[in-house]
Chain A
């Protein structure tokens, strides 16, 4: 079955370190998204991609970057982790424009000390 996976599921890191969260989907979807979930804010869009070599900033992109070198993967990098980036991160994917239903991964819980 097609799926979307995230790794690691849990991560503890220190302030200032670079961290990369992996997202891999086998749906062959063109669109991929990264969100963070925080209490009182719901899900907020960090970065998104509409295809290989395409990346775009979302609502809360400061301190994060993504790259899209193939259809299946969209890794999220925290350049220099900050305590404010402690959160639960979700990756999602959807078909080409016109299909808004997004399918989510299980999430990565990140703690920055």
Chain B
């Protein structure tokens, strides 16, 4: 059972336009969400995160939106640049008992973003 789903395997956008990557989750215990970017032959690198107590977090060109009622989050990249072309993974974690996070992440399948010059 895939608890974190990225239903779009790929996305193609023009340089300068907005890229929107989507992620859905089913586990209502998830309360912390992250986006990772991965280039070929490299490990994933952390991009941005959001706690469930927020509905938006912004870092430069990257904004993550969380809709808890819909169990949906999205990553907006504005403006998109050719260097943003990579695989983007959504990930989620749940706090353990007593408020202590156990640090385990559940990842989605990934979305390949291609930004054309």
List chain A positions with a Cβ less than 8 A from chain B.
4, 31, 33, 35, 40-45, 48, 50, 58, 90, 92, 94, 97-107
Contact = CB atoms under 8 A, between A and B. Distances in A.
A70 to B, nearest CB: 19
Nearest to B99: A98
A44 B105 CA distance: 9
B104 A45 contact: yes
Interface residues of B, number: 27
A97 B91 CA distance: 17
7 contacts: A33-B104, A42-B4, A90-B44, A97-B102, A99-B103, A102-B105, A107-B41
A100 B109 contact: no
Contact of B34 (A50, A90, A101): A101
B103 A43 contact: no
B110 A101 contact: no
A31 to B, nearest CB: 5
